[in-house]
Copies of this chain bind each other. A is one copy, B any other.
Amino acid sequence: MIVTLSQGAEVDSVRRELAGLGLWVSSVERSQKGDVHIVVGRGSTAVDPSLIEKVRGVSSVSAPSSAHPLVDAHTASVDVGGYKIGPETPALIAGPCSVESEDQILRIARAIAPHGVRFLRGGAFKPRTSPYAFQGHGRQALSWLRRAADATGMKVVTEVLSEQDVGAVAEHADLLQIGSRNMHNYALLKAVGRTTKPVLLKRSMAATVEEWLLAGEYLLNHGSRSVLFCERGIRTFDDTTRNLLDLGAVALLAHVHGLPVVVDPSHATGRRDLVRPLARAAFAAGAAAVMVEVHDDPAHAESDGPQALSPSDLASIAKSAFSSEAA
């Protein structure tokens, strides 16, 4: 945002008034002709330009047009398979990292459904850093997942990795997940958009908030009905947690942009001992849903066992989610 001053305005006085409104001055720029412009930093409190125009000494306020109009028009609450997810209707998404067998996914589904979990997650296609690691049971796992969800009254959330699998995944899932490694995979975003299905869009490990919103714009522009933005931790320099959970971005999307946000504390920290407090903090920051990994036998999980909760650990997270106070 650029605030242009009137001839003869007192710069310091305008600066202070802007500060009083919650705006950071990123620079004061002058032309040879004597025009004075104040550039407002992006990390400022969101303020209506019309309020700024009323400040004494301000001649005009210029703002960029949004680069993501469809995201801006998106609602805070969305419908996924008949269930609402939004600030007034917090949700839990739970399930194993990988779908390992029809029996496993059904057993876990039955264990978590009683805790109020309405969205069953599980990986059929797994993005793995190593070509030699287990890559998921693929298309057959989609059917197992669908049947387990149907048997327990849940909806299916699962990741799609390849343009070629979009059709099969869309056929079985209620909510298609784009993983953090594919947030910038525009070919996949377009293909998933064309299915029109709701999408859970994970933030890339190093995406700015603006890039994340623009990835959502790709989906909406190509047909997606709705997008849930999922924060799963970004990459940084500390190794005591696997990633750094950015709850500031969650609060920003929820409270300033009015978008539905999902938080994945399992991937964000990788530590079972931190999932519970961070799930609770996620709801406090404005998340509409929390997604956690649950396994009934983590010592035999095919992937990501260390971060998985037991079904019974879900109880306390469900309490944070569904206590009246959380809304």
Residues of A within 8 A of B (CB): 1-2, 4, 16-24, 27-33, 35-37, 39, 41-46, 49, 53, 60-65, 67, 127-132, 161-164, 181-182, 184-188, 204-206, 208-211, 214, 217-218, 221-222, 233-242, 244-249, 251-252, 254-256, 268-274, 277-278, 280-286, 297-301, 305-307, 320, 325
Nearest-neighbour CB distance to chain B for A167, whole angstroms, equals 13
14 A-B interface contacts by CB (under 8 A): A2-B37, A20-B300, A21-B299, A22-B272, A24-B270, A43-B271, A67-B130, A162-B163, A185-B188, A234-B244, A237-B237, A247-B281, A256-B274, A278-B285
> In the complex, A19 Cα to B270 Cα: how many Å?
11
> Could you tell me if B39 and A60 are in contact, using CB atoms closer than 8 angstroms?
no
Q: A20-B299, A24-B270 are in contact. Are A127 and B184 (CB under 8 A)?
A: yes
- Which chain B positions have C-beta within 8 A of A221? 131-132
Nearest-neighbour CB distance to chain B for A122, whole angstroms, equals 17
- Which chain B positions have C-beta within 8 A of A210? 240
- Which chain B positions have C-beta within 8 A of A299? 16-17, 19-21
> Could you tell me if A217 and B131 are in contact, using CB atoms closer than 8 angstroms?
yes
> Could you tell me if A35 and B19 are in contact, using CB atoms closer than 8 angstroms?
no
- Which chain B positions have C-beta within 8 A of A24? 242, 270, 306
Q: Which of B60, B233, B307 meets A35, CB within 8 Å?
A: B60
> In the complex, A272 Cα to B118 Cα: how many Å?
35
> In the complex, A181 Cα to B204 Cα: how many Å?
10
> In the complex, A60 Cα to B29 Cα: how many Å?
11
Nearest-neighbour CB distance to chain B for A32, whole angstroms, equals 7
Q: A62-B37, A163-B187, A251-B277 are in contact. Are A305 and B16 (CB under 8 A)?
A: yes
Nearest-neighbour CB distance to chain B for A213, whole angstroms, equals 10
> In the complex, A2 Cα to B32 Cα: how many Å?
12
Q: Which of B42, B187, B247 meets A278, CB within 8 Å?
A: B247
> In the complex, A44 Cα to B273 Cα: how many Å?
9
- Which chain B positions have C-beta within 8 A of A217? 130-131
Nearest-neighbour CB distance to chain B for A164, whole angstroms, equals 6
Q: A2-B37, A131-B222, A161-B187 are in contact. Are A64 and B273 (CB under 8 A)?
A: no
- Which chain B positions have C-beta within 8 A of A222? 131
> Could you tell me if B281 and A251 are in contact, using CB atoms closer than 8 angstroms?
yes
Q: A187-B161, A187-B162, A306-B44 are in contact. Are A298 and B20 (CB under 8 A)?
A: yes
